[in-house]
Structure 1
Amino acid sequence: MQPMAGQDLLHTQPRPMHWLATATALSAVVAAASFVQPPDATATTSHGVRAARPAAAPDPARVSFPVNCGPNRLDVVQKVPGDLDGDGTTETVAVVRCHSETGTPPSGVYVLAGPTDGKAAPRIVATLLAPARQLSVRKLTVGNGVISAGLLGYSTLDVPRCCPDVHKDVKWQWKGGKFVQSELPAAMGTQRA
């Protein structure tokens, strides 16, 4: 005999145990689905955006530096990559000087950034030390957005160009949209005149 409309059958009544079993089964399906991912799945903050590969540090060998060496070649004596302005891209600090078999030729220190169109040569975006200042770089480091250098120079024109007698340590740091130079305290650097 079939129940009449409005009558409920005892076995069709939802009981707390039915709800518990349904909730447990649903939780198991959701948990299992969170562990199963396609092999190329990546986490992103916005739909359809893939993380860009970081660009390589600019190569100083592809740059035409504003240094006149006459008949001598220009040497890149040091290159150090780093993110100097905190924008997530890598710049290169390059130390260059004219080739010489004797003496200590003056150095130029330049900051290079990648090309704007992706195919051109890297760009010089800052001159930290121009060769006209007649100083040479003896060491250069880059760390935490700070460029540190040990510089050698001459107190007078009478000092032989082989033997610099002025030594100082300086640093450059990106502040307010430009590189700001400061001299390190005397306790950290040495200066002899």
Structure 2
Amino acid sequence: MQQSAVPELAHTHTRPIHWVATATAVAGVIALSSVVQPGSATAAQPAPGTEAKSAPAVVAPPSTTGVDFPLDCGPVKALVVKQAAGDLDGDGRPETVAVVHCDAPMGTPPDGVYVLTRGTDSGTARVVATLVDPKDRLTVTDFALRARSVSATLLGYSSSDVPSCCPDVKTPAKWRWNGTAFLRSTPAGAHSV
């Protein structure tokens, strides 16, 4: 192997100080990029003499935290297992739909499905509709909120003799606001599991 005629240069070897300098420079770029933001883009300038209208403020959906669900859980707490938000009634303010059951230490407790809205006078959320009552002994799966409709698959029992562990009826269901109440439709017939 032939040796280089030029001695090795000291700056070609990385040392800890080089890594510290690089990390400092990267941190500086990240910090600067969080402070300096580009302006909002516009497709066209408004015509002279007209005022540009701003977009309506985004309203946050109601939170499930602290809501008193109409569910008797005894010594255990109510547990929100699924939730989705959207404008179900077309008023421009989102509602939250929550699937809730008791936080039982064993077994599969029945689910309740509740619609929450935010009060106009206060920011607190309140239950305005019950779509599935836990007294019906149903378990909710395939829960979704799309196109102003709530859909779910309900697992239930053909009789009171069927053990709670093993639901034997599967029913798809869909709820839609008609202006005064949520109407339930069943897209396909119920069938046994």
Q: How many residues are matched?
A: 148
Distance 2:45 2:138 in 1: 61
- Equivalent residue for 1:71? 75
Report what 1:60 is aligned to: 64
User: Partner of 2:52 in structure 1?
Assistant: 43
Give % identity. 45
Q: Which amino acid aligns with 2:117?
A: A
- Corresponding position of 2:166: 163
Specify the alignment match of 2:136 in structure 1: 133
CA distance in structure 1 between the partners assigned to 2:110 and 2:98 by the alignment: 14
Match of 1:177 in 2: 180
Look up the SS of the partner of 1:132 in the other structure: helix
One-letter amino acid matched to 2:67: V
Q: 1:109 to 1:35 in 2, by over 3 A?
A: closer
Larger Rg: 1
- The 5 Å alignment of 1:49-128 reads 51-119=55-123, 121-128=124-131
Residue by residue over 1:152-172, the C-alpha shift from the partner in whole angstroms, topping out at 9 and shown as x without a partner, is: 111122212111111110000
Q: Could you tell me which runs of 5 or more consecutive residues in structure 1 were left unpaired when the two chains were aligned.
A: 1-33, 45-49
Query: 1:131-159: per-residue Cα shift (whole Å, max 9, x none)?
Result: 11111111210111111010011112221
Closer/same/farther in 2, CA of residues 102 and 116 from structure 1, 3 Å limit: same
> What is the rounded CA distance, in whole Å, between the counterparts of 1:175 and 1:88 in structure 2?
16
- Scaled by the length of structure 2, the TM-score of the pair is 0.70
Question: Which residues of structure 2 form unaligned runs of 5+?
Answer: 1-43
